[in-house]
Amino acid sequence: MEDLNTLRMKKQMLLIELSAIEQKINLYEQVTTVTNVPESESSKTKAIPVQTAPGKESTNPLKADALLKSIIKETATPLPDGKTSLLVDTNPCTEGISKMTTLSPINKSVQEFTPDYKKALNKEAERFYVIYKGPHAGVHTDWGITETFCKVDKVTCKKFRNEASARLSLATYQDDTSKTNQPLLRPKIHKVKEAHRDQRFDVPNNVQQMVNHPEISFEDFRTIWKKARAACPEDLVHEKFFTTDKKTKSLFNFLEGSDAKLVYQAFQAGLIDNIYPSCNLQELIFFPSNMVESIKNFRKKVLKAKDNPIYIRCISSLPEWIQESTLSPYHFLEIGLSKANRDIEQSQPMEDKDLPFTEILHPNRINGLRRISEKIIEIISGSKKKINYTDSHCIITSWSYNNTSQEDLRQASKFGEKFMNNSMEVSNATRQHFCRHAEQLFEEHLCHFCESKDSETMEGPPSEDDKSSSS
């Protein structure tokens, strides 16, 4: 009789082997068994044969290895090419999903009874690619081929989820293209090449200028004059201007942020000394567009003027009023780069002389015309000046590295002719008083008032005989 300890040891070994067999059976059932499906002939296992002779452990059906080999041998099915399908992956399951797959009919039965939603998840999404133009225009399903066509034909494609949407998009594009590609019969227009025209010297239409920029009235002029004469240091803070005060008149100096309407009214009145506009020239929005455009061109062409502040120095005469019409003043403007530190004078309230207002304006008007004439002569004499803009009453200049061009000299001479000939749009009283200044400035000056003075000189004073005869 065997020892009790030996029997207990054999019992333990058999229990371990039995546990291993149960685990492998459960694993195999998870892979090959489908709920409520009749077991096929290929999946039926035969009865385990009785051991014929003791000691043949290699054929012992109770061992796990032998059992697994027997199951694999029975489930192997011949394929059409003469080979048999075997297990291709015997890795244990991971996260509850088995990694073991077979190519036997059992796997086919599993796929047949798989739910539709699971088949939809496992099925790869199909895409349709539409090429609209080129020799390969159409609907394609292979991205690799479609990508090659796009690169070769240098076109783009669009992706769709279903074939119907793809074909509808292609048909819509082809229909729209066929409509837009219809040739239009248009008459051939022959362009006429225009001669080059320097836009700096375009003279605006006086009628249009009057509509867009009405002249200043005498009442408005008097209001602006009094505002300049009564300026105080607080105006620099509140209204962004200070004044250059003299005994006979006060002139405005406008800084960045000044009221654009006040700036233009002061310009119409001829009461501006300097303007220091902002980079966007918002203070000049009421000025004629041609003038503003010339200042913008100056900022573009001068490298340092693109970001640096500029100044506009004004030399102006004063307007006149004859009956109901207004005679605009003349202006000579100089533009250039402004200094970082400006000299700001403190405005002080000033009082006019106890004279009629028209008598106060008259000498200031003549003095303005004389200063403009001196500036014109300075350009004609050969200074380095560039003409940026001219019209009938205004000329804008800037400093230049080069000498004044012939075209600029011609424009300056044309603008100065009215001063030399005393043919300005002013009253007769102003012309008569300006004639004396024109004689001093221009050698070729000759006007109607000069001839009248010459005739008076030739006649001389009346004699005693003339007086007696007249009496």
Predicted confidence (pLDDT) at residue 456 exceeds the cutoff of 60: no
Q: How far is CA 327 from the centre of its chain?
A: 44
Predicted confidence (pLDDT) at residue 471 exceeds the cutoff of 50: no
Q: Give the sheet arrangement for strand 241-245, strand by strand.
A: 241-245, 250-254, 272-275, 310-316, 331-337, 394-399, 385-390
Note the pLDDT of residue 93.
Answer: 43
Q: How confident is the model at residue 207 (pLDDT cuts 50, 70, 90)?
A: very low
257 contacts 280 by C-beta, under 8 angstroms: no
- Could you give the CA distance from residue 42 to residue 452 in angstroms, rounded to a whole number? 140
For residues 204-216, average pLDDT? 54
Note the pLDDT of residue 282.
Answer: 92
For residues 130-157, average pLDDT? 90
What integer best gives the mean pLDDT of the chain?
76
Q: How confident is the model at residue 402 (pLDDT cuts 50, 70, 90)?
A: confident
Predicted confidence (pLDDT) at residue 384 exceeds the cutoff of 70: yes
For residues 335-340, average pLDDT? 86
Q: What's at 377, amino acid-wise?
A: I
Q: How confident is the model at residue 333 (pLDDT cuts 50, 70, 90)?
A: very high
If one counts every other C-beta atom within 10 angstroms of the C-beta of residue 171, the result is 10
Predicted confidence (pLDDT) at residue 2 exceeds the cutoff of 50: yes
Note the pLDDT of residue 321.
Answer: 92
Nearest CA-CA partner of 236 in 256, 216, 251:
256
The residues, ordered by sequence, that sit 6+ positions from 346 with a Cβ below 8 Å of its Cβ are 233, 242
- Could you give the CA distance from residue 213 to residue 227 in angstroms, rounded to a whole number? 22
62 contacts 27 by C-beta, under 8 angstroms: no
Provide the β-strand partners of residue 131: 138, 157
Look at the chain and count its residues.
Answer: 471
Predicted confidence (pLDDT) per residue in 34-65, tens digit = 444 454 544 455 555 555 555 545 555 555 55
Residue-by-residue DSSP string for 29-42:
HHHH--TT-PPPGG
372 contacts 332 by C-beta, under 8 angstroms: yes
Domain ranges of the chain: 128-174, 213-456
398: alpha, beta or left, given left = phi > 0 and alpha = psi -120 to 50? beta
HSE on the CB side for 81, CA within 13 Å? 2
What kind and span of H or E run contains 272? strand 272-275
108 contacts 137 by C-beta, under 8 angstroms: no
Can you read off the two tokens belonging to residue 254?
């406008």
If one counts every other C-beta atom within 10 angstroms of the C-beta of residue 81, the result is 5
Going by the DSSP 8-state scheme, the letter that residue 280 receives in this structure is T
Note the pLDDT of residue 414.
Answer: 92
- Could you give the CA distance from residue 363 to residue 382 in angstroms, rounded to a whole number? 30
Nearest CA-CA partner of 210 in 333, 326, 317, 316:
326
117-126 long-range contacts, CB within 8 A, separation 24+: 125/161
Note the pLDDT of residue 454.
Answer: 55
- Could you give the CA distance from residue 41 to residue 61 in angstroms, rounded to a whole number? 21
Which of 26-35, 275-284, 338-347, 377-386 is predicted with the least confidence, judged by mean pLDDT? 26-35
- Could you give the CA distance from residue 349 to residue 231 in angstroms, rounded to a whole number? 5
- Could you give the CA distance from residue 251 to residue 236 in angstroms, rounded to a whole number? 14
Q: How confident is the model at residue 272 (pLDDT cuts 50, 70, 90)?
A: very high
For residues 295-318, average pLDDT? 83
